[in-house]
């Protein structure tokens, strides 16, 4: 199954944003054990590129692994070379989208306004990330999709177990979930069973 189909099927992209990724495999295994198999390692932490390669090697087809917070096309290229199966930007970054299109890699481009989301789509981003989703909530998403129903939008930032179904009901095709799912103190404590439990809660919330 290709990355976009995996995202559309699972409806959850787990955003792993840590200061360092020395426990990346443990985090990935905990998420997969909880039923979430689409993982995004952000470039804001040290060792993200190495983490992508390590997780791909350790988990194989059990996880779909991507890179997040990509701002430059060179960053996208390095992550793809390391095995990233999709690339996520926090804002509309057309050079990054183009770099992904040239490599036949899924781009999930960030945007907030209807103009930004539409431009990302037209530039080649098969999925567009509404960020920060907490600013507008499900009603804003619904309003954006009314005139632009062809957009495949993934709300990110502020998605919780309480509002996950509301975002999906408003038209989201999947949800990006980060700090509410993978908390830095939990990783630091090695309490990976808590990540598995949180993943199960999100899977249950999404499935309704």
Average confidence (pLDDT) over 156-168: 96
The class (CATH top level) of 3-207 is: alpha beta
Average confidence (pLDDT) over 164-185: 96
Peptide bond into 94 cis (omega under 30): no
The count of other CB atoms within 10 Å of the CB of residue 57 is: 10
Average confidence (pLDDT) over 167-174: 98
Of 11, 75, 129, 152, which one is the catalytic site residue?
Answer: 129
Average confidence (pLDDT) over 139-166: 97
Of all residues in the chain, what percent carry a pLDDT higher than 90? 98
pLDDT digits (tens, 9 = 90+) for 16-66: 999 999 999 999 999 999 999 999 999 999 999 999 999 999 999 999 999
pTM of the model: 0.96
**Taking 90 as the threshold, does the pLDDT of residue 208 lie above it?**
no
- pLDDT on residue 30: 98
Q: Give the residue with greater pLDDT, 197 vs 208.
A: 197
Phi, psi of 127 (to 5 degrees): -125, 145
- pLDDT on residue 1: 83
**Taking 90 as the threshold, does the pLDDT of residue 192 lie above it?**
yes
Report the mean per-residue pLDDT for the chain.
97
β-sheet bridge partners, residue 67: 41, 87
Of 40, 50, 94, 152, which one is the catalytic site residue?
Answer: 40
Active site residue 74: no
**Taking 90 as the threshold, does the pLDDT of residue 123 lie above it?**
yes
d(CA 109, CA 83) in angstroms, rounded, equals 19
Active site residue 129: yes
CA 182 to chain centre: 13
Reference 175, options 153, 198, 155, 145; nearest CA is 155
pLDDT digits (tens, 9 = 90+) for 93-119: 999 999 999 999 999 999 999 999 999
pLDDT digits (tens, 9 = 90+) for 63-91: 999 999 999 999 999 999 999 999 999 99
Average confidence (pLDDT) over 118-123: 98
């Amino acid at each position: 199954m290709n990355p976009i189909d995996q995202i559309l099927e699972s409806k959850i992209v787990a955003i792993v944003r840590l200061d360092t990724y020395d426990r990346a495999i443990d985090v990935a295994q905990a998420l997969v054990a909880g039923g979430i198999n689409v993982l995004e390692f952000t470039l804001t932490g040290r060792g993200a590129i190495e983490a992508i390669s390590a997780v791909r090697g350790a988990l194989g087809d059990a996880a779909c692994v991507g890179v997040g917070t990509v701002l430059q096309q060179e960053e996208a290229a390095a992550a793809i070379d390391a095995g990233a199966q999709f690339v996520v930007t926090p804002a509309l970054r057309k050079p990054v989208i183009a770099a992904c299109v040239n490599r036949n890699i899924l781009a999930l481009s960030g945007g907030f306004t209807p103009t930004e989301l539409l431009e990302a789509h037209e530039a080649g981003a098969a999925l567009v990330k509404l960020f920060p989703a907490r600013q507008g909530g499900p009603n804003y998403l619904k309003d954006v999709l009314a005139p632009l129903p062809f957009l495949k939008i993934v709300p990110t930032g502020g998605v919780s177990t309480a509002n996950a179904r509301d975002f999906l009901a408003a038209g989201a095709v999947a949800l990006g979930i980060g700090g509410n799912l993978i908390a830095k103190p939990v990783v630091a404590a090695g309490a990976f069973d808590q990540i598995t439990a949180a993943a199960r809660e999100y899977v249950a919330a999404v499935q309704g």
